[in-house]
Amino acid sequence: MSSSTRISVVCGWLVSLIVSAGVSAQATGQFNANFQPIFEFSRTSSEPIIEYNLIQHMLAEPDPQPLLLIYGNGKARVHFPRYMKRAGDYELQLSRSELTALLRSLALDGIVEFDQLAARQNKQQLEAQQRSATGLLYSVSDVAETVIRIRLEGYQRGPAFKRITNLERRFSWNNLEHDAKRHPQSEAIRRAAAGAQRLHGFLGRSDLRRIR
């Protein structure tokens, strides 16, 4: 174990874990007994291991600061832009078990290993099918971009998979919630929306403490 107090969390394949993460068995069907993820991260790093933002591109000057930053020591910082009712910065502290469960849920939601190209191709196919069936063209004028970053010192999907060092993943999707509702057939989009909603839920936590 290094001086950076590296944490390695091995997640077992448990039905109760899937239920607690709020993910249905159907949604996690691709994860079998080989899905026993290992997450490695420093508890002392100043770099956040999870970052979440919802960028409203219709605004003239969107706030560049992420809505949520979560660090390896469990500290979570929430930022409400000035145009929001609770404008300001807040903190809360996650326990080690809460942080571990959050990483597990994001992995189960597919955020860690999201295949953006495949998901976009699937969306295009579904939209083409809808146009063919209805003759209608659907568009959303106000773009809300969901951005999720995950940074880990190490990640391994399971014992049969190669360990990835210095993992950094950036998930980005426009109008994710809309797409999840319009294309429920897309498991990847539906699960990613669930993961984003889980992170957005931190903004409503009752244990937020204002720091400025």
Question: Could you list the pLDDT tens digit for every one of the 212 residues in the chain?
Answer: 544 444 444 433 232 233 233 333 333 445 555 678 899 999 887 899 999 999 987 776 777 899 999 999 999 999 999 888 899 999 999 999 999 999 999 999 999 999 999 999 999 999 888 878 776 655 666 789 999 999 999 999 888 889 999 999 999 999 999 999 999 999 999 999 999 999 999 999 999 999 98
Measured over all CA atoms, what is the biggest interatomic distance in the chain, rounded to whole angstroms?
A: 62
- pLDDT at site 140: 62
Placement of tokens 């159907």 in the chain: 26
Spatial CB neighbours of 126, under 8 Å, sequence gap ≥ 6? 183, 185, 186
Provide the 10 A C-beta neighbour count for residue 194: 21
- pLDDT at site 44: 86
- pLDDT at site 165: 96
CA distances, 106 to each of 51, 81, 133 (Å): 12, 25, 34
- pLDDT at site 143: 87
- pLDDT at site 103: 95
Query: CB–CB of 150/106 below 8 Å?
Result: yes
CA distances, 20 to each of 7, 11, 14, 54 (Å): 22, 13, 10, 25
Spatial CB neighbours of 206, under 8 Å, sequence gap ≥ 6? none
- pLDDT at site 193: 97
- pLDDT at site 135: 66
- pLDDT at site 46: 86
Taking the C-alpha atoms of residue 131 and residue 124, their distance in angstroms, rounded to an integer, is 10
- pLDDT at site 178: 93
- pLDDT at site 35: 76
